[in-house]
Amino acid sequence: MISDFLRDRIAKSDMGISEISRKSGMSESAIRSYRDGKSLPSVDSAEWILQTLGYEVELRKIEKAKT
């Protein structure tokens, strides 16, 4: 789940929630809520947080296997 992924990436970061908030432009409470799984971030919000942490987000369409 995205909250598990964000929690892991935030924990591995050398930035605290307040610094992530300042650099991403998102509120500390929103980041905590996403990290703790209390709410789900939009794709844009998850991307902003992850980019702030130094990750690049790429979305690709997965082709279904023909049966």
Reduce the DSSP state of residue 39 to 3 states and report it: coil
- Return the closest-CA partner of residue 45 out of 15, 18, 25: 25
CATH architecture of structural domain 2-52: Orthogonal Bundle (1.10)
Domain ranges of the chain: 2-52
Cα–chain center distance at 62: 21
Helix (H) or strand (E) holding 29: helix 28-35
Express as a percent the part of the chain with pLDDT over 70.
Answer: 99
Phi, psi values for residue 10, rounded to 5°:
-65, -45
Tell me the pLDDT band of 4, cut-offs 50, 70 and 90: confident
pLDDT above 80 (res 51): yes
Tell me the pLDDT tens digit for each residue of 14-36.
999 999 999 999 999 999 999 88
Amino acid 3: pLDDT: 80
